Amino acid sequence: MHGSILVLAPEGRDAEVIGSVLAEIGLATQPCADLPELCRSLGDDVGALMLSEGVLTDIEPLTAWLEAQPRWSDLPIVILTSRRSRQAGRGRQAFFQSLGNVTLLDRPLHREALQSAAQAALRSRERQYRTRSHLQEITQASSRLEERVAERTQALQAEMADRRRAEEQLHQAQKMEALGQLTGGVAHDFNNLLQGIVSCLAVLAPTVPDGTPRELFEAANRSIERGARLTQSLLSFARRQTLMPEPTDLGDLLTGMSSLLERSLGGQISVTIQVPPGLPAALIDRAQLESAILNLAINARDAMPCGGRLSLTASVAEIGDGETGSSAAVPAELRPGTYVAIRVADTGTGIDPSVLPHVFEPFFTTKPLDKGSGLGLSMVQGMATQSGGGVHIDSTLGGGTAITLYLPSVAAVAGRPAGTAADVERGEGRTVLLVEDDAIVRMGTMALLESQGHHVIEAESGETALALLQDGAEIDALVTDFAMPGMNGAEVVRAVRTLRPGLPALIVTGYADTPDLGEAVRLLRKPFSPNQIAEQLAAMLAE
């Protein structure tokens, strides 16, 4: 059995006899000379106590130990009494029971009774030890369960956070898709309206006299340009603009913009540009990035009415597998990989925390009605996201704002195209088949092409154009709208080329998300200027 028996029986040879009798059945005893020695020997490994009644006079240390036992422990105590003492003081029974797990053994002691009492005490203690083991196992199991619950709770919280982010991204994507469809249709119709005005004004330009009529004429042209920029902004935040990404050296781009930024921000704001050597190129539409940076700089200027500092810092950002969507500083839409980051930071007034979650929402603005449309930051985010990157904003009210653009990286900067279409000699006096379903746009474009010396055959649909060619019409080039009832522009080009293989073709469109038409077809977006269509025609006729 587990544990030894502490014996305190100082009368005569009682302790020696008890030890000898219990040793006969294999029980270990430890004799103690007095109560203090016994108290010093007490511990969880003690199996039982065997005490003479005569030693129970000053037992406060013993009772203190008994009362401090752990919950599983109830140390068995065998008290050796005499019938005479029990008869003389029956009130001691309550005292004995106050000691807890007590067994009374009357003298004179019999061998069998002593051995049986000792074994019963040790069996009781053994059950306590088993209870202790069970309690330890339960405690350990409970601790492991709590750890697993905590781990699972943390995992569930992470999953719920990921789900919320995914739902927010899906909601945002659905919202942007709906806005994109709306703005795409609006932009198409608006661009058609602008194109009719552009073409008609271009034809009338030589007839407009100087003075007030010329000034009004130029004002109309500037309004057209503003309208074209507005449709571009709408398409930008809806992520339906057509981007022309190319490897771009951000050092050259930012350095080249320094004078423009200084002029735009005024003398009260200092501009610093930091680009580390060896910075990888970014795959980005250069013109759109310049517009985005200028937009951010103008916002920073408005946030620093009394002057301040604007810093543009470029760096390399490595986004690992575990970082996307897990950190507030990393845009959720970023995929793992290498990005080139541009941080635009100001020392302005900062953004209120309640406003910060809404700054990228289209048409959201805190500026006066005549100072902002609410499309600026939406356009910046749309450009970055559509390019394969993202945007992060960090702002402290009263402490300034920092906006970081993450742009996809490429290994080296490719050379920019040498020359433009303006360098190509324009071809005139050719016959052009113009296919356009909008009567006003068709009339204006036809007049524009004729003013440039071309002979124009007009058709209001693809079917009409094919009929003209089947009747023997001779043409040098095809100019067709893309979105038309019946055959669209791409179908018109394919059908015409079955009759006139290799015919130069130009598709003009007011939509942003025109599918890839292949290298054999040129694309021009409305509203186009007289020079733009002249350059396109000259280039494709020269091929």
pLDDT per residue as tens digits for the range 271-310: 999 999 989 999 888 878 888 888 888 888 988 888 899 9
Going by pLDDT thresholds of 50, 70 and 90, the confidence category of residue 426 is very low
pLDDT score recorded for residue 221: 82
Question: Residue 418 — very low, low, confident or very high, per pLDDT cuts 50/70/90?
Answer: very low
Q: Tell me how far apart the alpha carbons of residues 313 and 340 are, in angstroms, rounded to a whole number.
A: 10
Say how far apart CA 144 and CA 147 lie, in whole Å. Answer: 5
Domains of the chain, start order = 4-109 (3.40.50.2300), 244-410 (3.30.565.10), 421-542 (3.40.50.2300)
Residue 72 in this model has a pLDDT that exceeds 80: yes
Condensed to tens digits (0 to 9), the pLDDT of residues 209-266 reads 888 888 888 888 888 877 776 776 666 555 555 667 788 899 889 988 888 888 888 8
* Predicted confidence (pLDDT) at residue 416 exceeds the cutoff of 70: no
The answer to which of 81-90, 127-136, 165-174, 492-501 has the lowest mean pLDDT is 81-90
- Max intra-chain CA distance, the chain: 144
Cα 212 from Cα 199, distance rounded (Å): 21
Q: How far apart are the first and last CA of the chain?
A: 106
The whole-angstrom separation of Cα 184 and Cα 191 is 10
Q: So what's the pLDDT on residue 327?
A: 47
The confidence score (pLDDT) of residue 506 equals 92
Q: What is the pLDDT of residues 186-204, one digit of tens each?
A: 777 778 888 888 888 888 8
**pLDDT score of 20:** 92
Does the pTM surpass 0.85? The reply is no
pLDDT tens track for 115-169: 999 999 999 999 999 998 999 999 999 999 999 999 999 999 988 988 887 787 7
Helix, strand, coil percentages in the chain from 3-state DSSP, rounded to 5:
50, 20, 35
Residue percentage of the chain with pLDDT more than 90: 30
Rounded Cα–Cα distance for residues 543 and 526 (Å): 23
Q: How many Å apart are CA 373 and CA 379, to the nearest integer?
A: 11
> For position 421, what pLDDT does the model report?
35
Q: If you average pLDDT over residues 2-25, what whole number do you get?
A: 89
Q: What pLDDT sits at residue 167? A: 82
Q: Is the pLDDT of residue 412 over 60?
A: no
